[in-house]
Amino acid sequence: MKNYTDAKAVFAALGIDSDKAIKKALAVPLSIHCWQGDDVTGFENLGQGAPGGGLAVTGNHPGKARNPEELRNDIAMALDLMPGINRVSLHACYAEFAGSKVDRDAITVRHFQNWIDWAKQHNIGLDFNPTFFAHAKAADGCPLTSVKKGIRDFWIEHGKRTREIASAMGRQLDTSVLNNFWTPDGSKDTPADRLGPRKRLAESLDRIFAKPVNPKYTVESVESKLFGVGCESYTAGSNEFYMGYAVTRQKFICLDTGHFHPTEVVSDKLSAVAPFVPGIALHLSRGVRWDSDHVTALSDETVAIAQELVWNGLLPKTRIGLDYFDASINRIAAWAIGARNVRKSLLMAFLTPAALLRKAEQSQNLAERLALQEDFRLLPFGAVWHALCDRADAPQDIHWLKEIAQYAATVLSKRT
Confirm whether 69 is a catalytic residue: no
Candidates 38, 74, 223, 326; catalytic one? 223
Confirm whether 189 is a catalytic residue: no
For residues 7 and 380, is the Cβ–Cβ distance under 8 A? yes
Confirm whether 158 is a catalytic residue: no
Candidates 39, 127, 256, 301; catalytic one? 256
Give the angle subtended at the CA of 231 by the CAs of 227 and 235, to the nearest 5°. Answer: 55
Candidates 8, 91, 259, 294; catalytic one? 259
Candidates 264, 291, 368, 403; catalytic one? 291
Candidates 33, 64, 158, 225; catalytic one? 225
Cα–Cα nearest to 415, from 118, 76, 65? 65
**What is the DSSP pairing of strand 86-91 with strand 318-322?**
unpaired
Integer angstrom CA distances of residue 180 from 256, 280, 316: 12, 11, 18
Cβ neighbors of 68 (< 8 A, separation 6 or more) are 43, 94, 96, 114, 115
Candidates 137, 283, 294, 344; catalytic one? 283
Dihedral angle sign, alpha carbons of residues 408, 414, 415, 416:
positive
Confirm whether 259 is a catalytic residue: yes
Confirm whether 105 is a catalytic residue: no
Candidates 182, 335, 385, 400; catalytic one? 182
Integer angstrom CA distances of residue 274 from 72, 269, 270, 282, 317: 34, 8, 6, 12, 9
**Residue 180: φ, ψ to 5°:** -105, 130
* Rounded Cα distance, 134 and 43, in Å: 12
Cβ neighbour number for residue 299 with a 10 Å cutoff: 13
Confirm whether 323 is a catalytic residue: yes
Candidates 323, 335, 344, 385; catalytic one? 323
Confirm whether 153 is a catalytic residue: no
Confirm whether 283 is a catalytic residue: yes
Candidates 293, 301, 308, 326; catalytic one? 293
**What is the DSSP pairing of strand 291-294 with strand 286-288?**
antiparallel
Confirm whether 182 is a catalytic residue: yes
Q: Which residues are catalytic?
A: 182, 223, 225, 256, 259, 283, 291, 293, 323
